Amino acid sequence: MRGKPLHPDPSVRPLPGINGHQHEVRGPVHQAVPPAPAARPQVLGADVPQVVVDHQVARHIKSEVSKRLADARKAGASMSQASQEQQARGWINEAVAVWSDAAAAERGVSPSAAEDAALARAVFDMLFRAGRLQPHLDNQRVENIFINGYDEVWLDYGGGRREQVAPIADSEEELLEMLRDLARNAGQSERTISTASPMLALRLPDGSRLQAITSVSPKTYVTIRRHRVWEVDLAGLVKLGTIDTTLAAFLSACVRAQKNVMIAGEQAVGKTSLLRALLKEFDPDERFATVETEFELFAHNSSHHRQVLALEGRESNGERGVDGRGAGEITLLDLMHPALRMTLSRIVVGEVRGPEVVAMMQALTSGKGGNLCTLHARRPDVIFDRIAELYALADGNLSEQLAYRQIANGLDFIVYVSMIDETMAGGSRHRFVSHVLEVTGMGENGRPATNEIFAPAPELGEPRAVPRMHPGCINDLRRAGFTAHLLDEAHGAWDAALALKVGIA
């Protein structure tokens, strides 16, 4: 390992390496919790030994096992993923046993079973999982992972704490090799990262979203966003403090009444989690589609749904056709046309970041309603302009007037999710719904008109959404089971205003 170890500890025993090179990575044998920069790693008990892994040895074993797997595939053996992993485990154990014998001869004492197991696990992770990155993906406390070059790794935790941990590669090339392995292992073989293709967007097997960039930057940068809230429903979001029971009942009625709902907000505020919760309000036998650039909703893996058509866009292979489009590229708009012929009651469009906004608006203006989507926007009052900006980026340079007209015709409600980050003031991060706007048609100024149904109440010191008025479609919601008088409570169902270090204006 280059330089001084982050966590010097006399109890750590280095493993012998190839050609005398030793590489130390701290961590307990049985627990994938990353160490803090200035403290010993957490362990399950005092008897759990601390071991290190020589990653040069691990890479050597990985290379040998990879060749054996490739030979097995070339021989025509039909091997499932499970079979490949089982076969690889056997080969890894054989190679680790050979290494252990050599290490014993070099040391004069045999490596412990824990050291053998740690090395075997590291090799398996390199082959089939995320390599040295895997312990951080296994840690449920980690919210974001930032890799600023191979030798600088930071972890964001749910409460707002950020810590630097040990490198997950020994060189830029090793980091790029890990990213290519992740793309192959994730089954997205058309995606890679190189000088010719310097950007990589990837969905990891655990649902995390990875974005990497290289070549056009001084070093390789990687951001991994975790999804820590999977099977959440509206009741779960009430427990988390994202919404109160009044808003939960309102949103549930919107879904049952087949209203088109857009969830908006900045990055990492919980838009996808709220969308997953709204999907739980669908009837289990309702047939619907999810259309995403990368799978994040995973409704097709949920035990709640039985009729899900899950569609995922595909990047091009880097070549361009005569029409200027990337060869092999499938956009969300491409997916929308066949989806509309699949006898669906609803279409759910995942995160909208660019020209796919056209596909989203097609979904909202097609069928009888009940469609859902998400959008990035930094404030509730800029959402319409944000959609118009994305229309201008789409093929054909679509007009602002068209965007406004489709919003007015297609949208029923906008739910805005906010975050107040008080970590710098000694507090924590608060994520919650702050606004629910009803779109009532086209206004006199050529922009969509809205009613503010839920909003913050500064006069009450409350930044979260509380009832402000009844929507124009209140009777539709009443038919779906909503109790209208809930909207007459000024505080909503909150017991008290959100406790903040710094009050709202």
Mean pLDDT across the chain, nearest whole number?
84
Distance CA 179, CA 183 (A): 6
> Residues with Cβ < 8 Å from 77, sequence gap 6 or more?
none
**No. of helices (H) and no. of strands (E), the chain:** 13, 15
Q: CA separation (Å) from 482 to 250, 379, 473?
A: 6, 28, 11
Is residue 5 pLDDT above 50, yes or no? no
Q: What region does 385 belong to: left with phi over 0, alpha with psi -120 to 50, or beta?
A: alpha
Predicted confidence at residue 193, as pLDDT, reads 87
pLDDT, position 310: 93
Q: Indicate the domain borders of the chain.
A: 1-128, 234-488
> Residue 18's pLDDT is what?
38
Over residues 41-89, the pLDDT tens digits come to 332 233 334 578 888 899 999 999 999 988 888 876 677 888 889 999 9
Look up the pTM and report it.
Answer: 0.73
Residue 384 reports pLDDT greater than 80? yes
Taking Cα atoms as reference points, which of 35, 65, 58 lies closest to residue 174?
58
Q: What is the pLDDT of residues 111-165, one digit of tens each?
A: 999 999 999 999 999 998 899 999 999 888 898 999 999 999 999 987 678 899 9
Sorted by sequence, the CB contacts under 8 Å of residue 474 that are 6+ apart come out as 482, 484
Look at residue 187 in the predicted model and tell me its pLDDT: 63
Residue 323 pLDDT: 59
* pLDDT score for 133: 92
For the cut 50, the answer to whether the pLDDT of residue 312 exceeds it is yes
234-488 to CATH, choices 3.40.50.300, 2.60.120.380, 3.40.50.720, 3.30.70.1140: 3.40.50.300
Average pLDDT over residues 171-179: 93
Q: Determine the pLDDT at residue 50.
A: 55
What radius of gyration do the chain's Cα atoms show? 26
pLDDT at 448 over 50: yes
Q: What is the pLDDT of residue 27?
A: 36
Q: Render pLDDT for 193-211 as a digit per residue (tens, 0 to 9).
A: 888 889 998 888 877 889 9
Q: What is the pLDDT of residues 233-252, one digit of tens each?
A: 999 999 999 999 999 999 99
pLDDT of residue 143: 86
Question: Cβ(175)–Cβ(213) under 8 Å?
Answer: no
